A = this chain, B = another copy of it.
Amino acid sequence: MNGAESLVQSLLAAGIDTCFANPGTSEMHFVSALDRHPGMRCVLGLFEGVVTGAADGYGRMMDKPAVTLMHCGPGLTNGMANLHNARRANTPVLNLIGDQATSIVHMDPPLAADTEALARTLSVWTRRSVDPARAAADAMEGVRASMEAPGVASLILPSDTAWTEGGQIAAYLPPAPPTGPTGLAVDRAAAMLMNGKKTVLLLSNRALREAPLKIAGRIAHKTGARLMTLSQIPRLQAGLGRVPIERIPYNVDLSIKALEGVEQIIQIGAREPVNFFAYPGKPNVPMPEGCTCHMVTRPDQDHMAALEAIADAVKATEDAPLPSAPDHGSLTGAISPESLGAAINQNLPDNAIIVDESVSYGRALLPSFTTAKPHDYLHLNGGSIGLGIPMATGAAVAAPGRRVVALQADGSALYTLQGLWTQAREGLDVTTVILSNRRYAILQGEMTAVGANLGPAAQELFNLDRPATDWQAIAKGFGIPATQASDMESFVDQLNRANATPGPQLIELMI
């Protein structure tokens, strides 16, 4: 048994059975081992950004890592933008990066790069596995690290470690259960909730699942605290019957307004809010001056335990009242963010997954989803555009039988459009709605926000209408049926048809 075989067998025994792959020469023995030890679902991406974005979507839905298979340093760099997003979303991912054999790497062959330095910039755990007898054990440590952080773990596998005999099966190392909050942190949170000040209970990461949200709702109902989350959302369980949550807006002025008068923030799995960018003459954080922040649980800790302890301390036992479904009436006429939100609200399939890379157009859509059918909501967490199509792909792989509705800005879609091919190849139930305005609308807004002029050079760099991308042709190119909608009636009709049709579909929505 060579190193690669021991690795494949140990991963399978640990329940790590999905591999998003874009292999090259140095990964050949790993690929060969997959043939001798079947059981791993291998999903091919035409570009590494598809592979890593899919692993992010998969990991968010499964709370366990998929394996990404990438080729040397340059292959890794192609996947790094979406690994950045996975890192920011605290998604468990195990990178398996094939690399030059130990016998040749010192000769600096053409494809050699500083793979470790690259991987370390975004991994919680990085290791070069140079001993076939240890390769599987190294992988098991990587799995554990990715689940405990949770985050991105990177195993660099030189090709001779993979092909050399002496591989040894290694046992799965179950991750340690997340630690609860300290008693002091809970007591302080409880005291803050009872001191009469304007308080925000700020939740993120796994505190955004249905059960912890329910407890958070009780605390809010009892104490008057507001439930909020950061502008970026890894995975939110939302919809009718679930406790809704406010999001801190992305826009600096709106975020400052949203937190106006707030005196304290209690963080459950959430970092302190910070703006996405600095802007001349504006504060870097949305909190009012003097606002106190108190972190009860870090992203890796046990938020449910924290919320239950706080609820006990403040005697919050009554559930928050929940909103009911609005009546939007029949949706007709022009397309707007509001009518799009209403269309999704009314027409979301049962138990759907919303993937949101709608960027500027969709910033105010979240409240519409609150009263849609119960669903999981995955957002561009980390802010590096080009995640949507791959993340929808990975979420669909993780959750067969559930429809993925992906709201996708057109400019961002073009970074990783190759993911459409993987959706077609795997027959995944994804409806991609391209929000087509043929420009980088966000940058036109940002140009104003930073106080700069929008002259002809800027217009030339922000407009994508020369030539206009033909999304129906591109979808056809990758084997996906596509339609185009320019008004609400046709959009709702196309959306329902697409959602009712097995396999991937694409709608270009002209906004």
A residues with a Cβ closer than 8 A to B are 21, 23-26, 28-29, 31-32, 34-36, 38, 40, 42, 44, 46-47, 49, 73-75, 77-78, 80-81, 84, 88, 100-101, 103-104, 107-111, 113-114, 117-118, 120-122, 159-160, 163, 232, 272, 274-278, 280, 284-285, 381-384, 386, 411, 414-415, 417-418, 421, 424-425, 442-443, 446-447, 449-453, 455-458, 460-461, 464, 466-474, 476-479
Judge whether A447 and B35 touch: CB under 8 Å: no
With A32-B458, A471-B477, A477-B477 as known contacts, state yes or no: A80 contacts B88, CB within 8 Å.
no
Please, how many angstroms separate the alpha-carbon atoms of A415 and B411 in the complex?
17
Contact residues in B for A411 (Cβ distance below 8 Å): 46
Task: Out of B42, B232, B464, B476, name the residue touching A110 (CB < 8 Å).
Answer: B232
Task: Out of B28, B84, B418, name the residue touching A74 (CB < 8 Å).
Answer: B84
Judge whether A457 and B34 touch: CB under 8 Å: yes
Judge whether B29 and A450 touch: CB under 8 Å: yes
Judge whether B111 and A382 touch: CB under 8 Å: yes
A269 CB, min distance to chain B CBs, angstroms: 16
Please, how many angstroms separate the alpha-carbon atoms of A460 and B479 in the complex?
17
Judge whether B477 and A469 touch: CB under 8 Å: yes
Chain B minimum-CB-distance residue to A465? B425
Contact residues in B for A417 (Cβ distance below 8 Å): 417-418
Chain B minimum-CB-distance residue to A474? B477
With A74-B81, A274-B109, A418-B414 as known contacts, state yes or no: A460 contacts B424, CB within 8 Å.
no
A427 CB, min distance to chain B CBs, angstroms: 10
Please, how many angstroms separate the alpha-carbon atoms of A456 and B100 in the complex?
25
Task: Out of B38, B456, B476, name the residue touching A473 (CB < 8 Å).
Answer: B476
Chain B minimum-CB-distance residue to A284? B104
A390 CB, min distance to chain B CBs, angstroms: 13
Task: Out of B451, B455, B470, name the residue touching A36 (CB < 8 Å).
Answer: B455
Name 12 A/B residue pairs within 8 A (Cβ), A-sorted: A25-B276, A25-B449, A28-B452, A32-B447, A35-B457, A38-B457, A73-B84, A77-B80, A78-B81, A109-B275, A417-B418, A473-B477
Task: Out of B107, B449, B453, B467, name the residue touching A425 (CB < 8 Å).
Answer: B467
